[in-house]
Amino acid sequence: DVLADQIAAGEVIERPASIVKELVENALDAHSRQIDIIVTEAGLGQIRIIDDGDGIDQADVAIAFKRHATSKIQSPKDLFRIKTLGFRGEALPSIASVADVIMTTATGSEQGTEIHIRGGETITMKPATARPGTDITVTDLFFNTPARLKYLKSPQTELAQITDIVDRLALAHAEVAFSLTHNERELLRTVGNGNLQQVIAAIYGNTNAQKMIPIETQDPDFSVRGFTSLPEVTRSSRQYISIIINQRYIRNFQLTKAIIQGYGSKLMIGRFPMSVLLIELDPVLIDVNVHPAKKEVRISKESQLEGLITMAIQQQMAKQNL
């Protein structure tokens, strides 16, 4: 029901950036190769996401907006080996309960569908001509939950959150072409050729991307690859460190510390490197079902992974005589 969806929305949909995150993750789970994100007024005007992924069958469109309807896990034991970004079946019903949503979707094997839901009420659902993929537009965010609106920060801050999330998603998926446009201005474009350093260049600039050293290491449980900046290229915050596990951007204080530790005394106090580390591990070693927004995760053998990261950076520095 709408109330339950709004309660869930309270946890998953805090701000425009949460919507961008959930919808882009859906596009990624649907095997999209190209994802275009078009935003106006820092997400309060509209958020539109166009993907070229699997699309949704006519028969499943209404179900996708039902609570806990997910096509991604079938049995309880799947919860312990999650390979998709979504699995809780909460995002679409939550978003639709606090905004106006129009989705056009097609699988390519049958006619497409257009559904319009506002504040949890289905306004229309009808066949539509559409190319394969999904095109979803969210407007009037929080129109029926004014308290939420009041808690939003300035447009600059909300937009910065959107940019930050799209940046991390693009870093985690160098094989997907992303574009982000705000008020008709293009803020990011990646080509989707799988080249991580090119994505880093698109986000942090060419000069910074050139001043990065490659990291590549593994042990029986973990593989780690990516780039970390030369000790001279530092920032005053940890913001520019991205830790990505099984293509999911996560926040983890200990792993961040492990990266910093790899630099030893080469970093000045209060300075932090720029790093993008892609970690792969067996999904049984990670629990992503800790928080609805899935930002925090629990990792088994975490200290082993910390050691591996620190050592990889130390060795790479030594190799480069740094």
Closest contact distance (angstroms) between CB of 136 and Mg ion is 12
Site for Mg ion in 52-91 (CB under 5 A): 86, 91
Residue with the two structure tokens 């160098």: 174
> Residue numbers of the site for ligand ADP (CB under 6 A)?
22, 26-27, 30, 51, 53-56, 64, 69-72, 86-92, 134
**Nearer to Mg ion (CB atom), residue 43 or residue 86:** 86
Contact 68, 88 (CB under 8 A): yes
Of 239, 20, 46, 44, nearest to 155 by C-alpha is: 44
Closest contact distance (angstroms) between CB of 32 and ligand ADP is 7
**Nearer to Mg ion (CB atom), residue 21 or residue 276:** 21
Phi then psi for residue 228, to 5 deg, are -140, 145
Nearest residue to ligand ADP on Cβ basis:
86
The CB-side HSE value for 28 (13 A sphere, CA atoms) comes to 27
**Nearer to ligand ADP (CB atom), residue 72 or residue 211:** 72
Closest contact distance (angstroms) between CB of 246 and Mg ion is 16
State both tokens at 13: 């949909």
* Long-range contact set of residues 35-38: C-beta below 8 Å, sequence gap at least 24: 35/176, 35/177, 35/178, 35/179, 36/178, 36/179, 36/181, 37/166, 37/178, 37/179, 37/180, 37/181, 38/181
Phi then psi for residue 175, to 5 deg, are -85, -5
Give dist(CA 83, CA 95) in Å, integer: 23
3-state secondary structure of 102: strand
- Select from Mg ion, ligand ADP, none the partner in contact with residue 115, using the beta carbon and a kind-dependent cut-off of 5 to 8 Å: none
**Nearer to ligand ADP (CB atom), residue 89 or residue 226:** 89
**Nearer to ligand ADP (CB atom), residue 36 or residue 51:** 51
Closest contact distance (angstroms) between CB of 86 and ligand ADP is 2
Closest contact distance (angstroms) between CB of 294 and ligand ADP is 10
Closest contact distance (angstroms) between CB of 221 and ligand ADP is 27
**26 is a contact residue toward Mg ion (CB under 5 A):** yes
**32 is a contact residue toward Mg ion (CB under 5 A):** no
Residues that bind Mg ion (CB under 5 A): 26, 86, 91
